[in-house]
Amino acid sequence: MEFKLYNYYRSSCSYRVRIALELKKIDYSYIPIHLIENGGHQNTLEYQKINTKQEVPTLIHNETPISQSMAIIEYLDEIKPDISPLLPKNPIQRAYVRQACEIINSGIQPLQNLRILNKLVNDYQISDPQKKAWINDLVTNGLVSFEKFISNKSGLYCFGDTISAADLFLVPQIFSSQRFGVDLEPFKALMQINENCLKLTTFQNSHPNAQPDNPELKA
């Protein structure tokens, strides 16, 4: 198959790319990389050959690997520009969408990353309550910023009534936030956008609960 995606069902970065592939109507081979099992499949020498950072996701297109979800999503938008465009043509609107993506991509998700959390536990011996407080404080701070930023720009979705890359970052972040027990009650606008997105088949098909490596599907 022309496209292959190395990813993990619960990874929010992988989730973003799955949504993009669905929106772009791109068929792809799903290759699971379990981030915990046997010390993490991402740490194998074989995987390091295609992703030097040893992270997910990695997209393979015509035997060429691309990593980092933002780069992958922009690449897909550039090679399939006429199918569900994810970045507006207007320069300022395009910058706004990228800004929203980066609030999550740079300002929230890395701080709840498995590698960071393991580092806090293993090297600094933080307790489970301290880890939960770390996640809650930092995720909440980021979501407050996100909601304020789109407050006068949103419609059904983050930017009006058309799906953009920002929605591809928001929905997986909401999923992760729910999994970590973050209080999302204050974020009325974000939760409504999340609900609107999850009504779409493309988002449903991309959801962690629908992926073949979700252990609950094998139960």
Residues 146-156 have pLDDT tens digits of 999 999 999 99
- Show the tokens assigned to 126: 């933080």
Residue 194 burial (C-beta neighbours within 10 Å; 0-12, 13-18, 19+): buried
CB within 8 Å of 29: residues ≥ 6 apart: 1, 3, 4, 5
- pLDDT tens-digit series, residues 168-178: 999 999 999 99
pTM for the predicted model, two decimal places: 0.95
Residue 193 — pLDDT band, cuts 50, 70, 90?
Answer: very high
Average pLDDT of the chain is 95
Percent of the chain with pLDDT over 90: 89
Tokens matching residue 74: 């922009």
Collapse the DSSP code of 213 into the 3-class scheme (helix H, G, I; strand E, B; otherwise coil) and give the result: coil
- pLDDT, residue 218, reads 64
3-state helix, strand, coil in the chain (%, to 5): 55, 10, 35
The rounded distance, in Å, linking the Cα atoms of 18 and 57 is: 10
Which tokens go with 77? 């938008």
Residue 205 CA to residue 196 CA, distance in Å, equals 15
Identify which of 149, 159, 32, 145 has the alpha carbon closest to the alpha carbon of residue 86: 159
